[in-house]
Structure 1
Amino acid sequence: MASGAGELELPLVQDLQLTKCMKLRAQSLQQKNEKPQEGEKLLQADEFVYRVDFSRQHDLRFLRWNIRLHKPGKLSIVGTSQHWTPDLTNLMRRQLLEPAAVFWKKPGGKEVEWNEADALEFGERLVELAKIRKVMYFLLVYSDGLEPAHVKCSVVFKA
């Protein structure tokens, strides 16, 4: 999806199957009254797995996040260093990348606000990861009344 001349816009796409599998894992542990593995991150109700498929991996420069919130609330985007496999290896806390990019819209507000320094640093890390990955996974956390249906997000690179 092209935005402008020389720009490459890649959407964050919800991975419904992986999200469902990971939530089932959390549910299963809870039902069996078992504890997660040491350091394992279990998906909470407001957390969803998304992915970006890099159609191009080299000569990318991060330009901006393109985030649209259709109602007030807060969205946190956390990258993962994990390369998921179909057998669903468990997500460990150490695989979550810092910093998270946080975006929000205040009630009555028209514009999306964000923590600029963190979002920029995170975007620049994506460029490095794109060189070695064709797919990258993210954990999106919705809060303050926001849900997946209220959000459209993508990341824009200069190609």
Structure 2
Amino acid sequence: MEQSSCDHGIVLEFKEDTAITEMMRLRVSSLKKSGQKRQDGERLLLPHEAVYRLDFPSQDQELAFSRWHFTLAGHGRVTVTGICQHWTPDLTHLMSRQLLEPIGTFWRNGGDPEDSQLKWLEADMQEFGERIAQLAGVRKVMYFLLAFKEQAEAANLHCSIHFTAGP
């Protein structure tokens, strides 16, 4: 997890948690091999999804959401879904009720020039950022499901969130 401080506050980068992503993929594979079904309400990882995380530097400092920063090479759509519970994938399965609303979505359409600005639903992204800032006060880490659609790829993504720090 990379964190940097800038004149305007704190910047936290979303980093893929490859161990948890792999563990969730193994769960799907295990269910398929054994012919079992998922638990009622369980949320299985889809092939185009990965688990990312934000590590918060301190719970002593109040953070206020400032802005998102996304870069996506090429075209496609990325959705970011927060997980609201202290989820421990090694001990419990991810349940659908643990997913935060709203989700964040940003994209660049296929016909758009590759250097064009990414699009997003501003009100949803503002609310989502504010929810993350609230949870930062009680969490050391927060997990997210990122879904890559319409030719978007994890290797072409950089996503960070900017906060201003309070007392």
TM-score normalised per structure 1: 0.95
- Work out which of the residue numbers 19, 31, 42 in structure 2 matches 1:40: 42
SS in 2 for 1:61: strand
Q: In 1, Cα distance between the equivalents of 2:35 and 2:154?
A: 29
SS in 2 for 1:137: strand
Q: In 1, Cα distance between the equivalents of 2:47 and 2:70?
A: 22
Unmatched 5+ stretches in structure 2: none
Q: In 2, Cα distance between the equivalents of 1:152 and 1:93?
A: 26
Aligned equivalent of 1:15: 17
The residue type paired with residue 95 of structure 1 is Q
Q: In 2, Cα distance between the equivalents of 1:116 and 1:143?
A: 20
Q: Count residues with an aligned counterpart.
A: 159
Q: In 2, Cα distance between the equivalents of 1:67 and 1:99?
A: 18
SS in 2 for 1:2: strand
Answer yes or no: is 1:99 the counterpart of 2:97. Answer: no
Aligned equivalent of 2:52: 50
Answer yes or no: is 1:74 the counterpart of 2:77. Answer: yes
How far residue 3 of structure 1 moved from its aligned partner, in angstroms, is 5.8
SS in 2 for 1:78: strand
Indicate the RMSD between aligned Cα atoms, in angstroms: 1.3
Unmatched 5+ stretches in structure 1: none
Q: In 2, Cα distance between the equivalents of 1:88 and 1:42?
A: 15
- Work out which of the residue numbers 110, 133, 138 in structure 2 matches 1:132: 138
- Work out which of the residue numbers 150, 158, 162 in structure 2 matches 1:156: 162
Question: Contact conserved, 1:82 with 1:91, CA < 8 A, in 2?
Answer: no
SS in 1 for 2:126: helix
1:100-119 to structure 2, matched below 5 A, reads 100-107=103-110, 108-109=112-113, 110-119=116-125
Which string of whole-angstrom CA distances, capped at 9 and with x for unpartnered residues, describes residues 112-136 of structure 1?
1101111100000011101110100
Percent identity reads 45
SS in 2 for 1:119: helix
SS in 1 for 2:6: coil
Q: In 1, Cα distance between the equivalents of 2:37 and 2:75?
A: 35
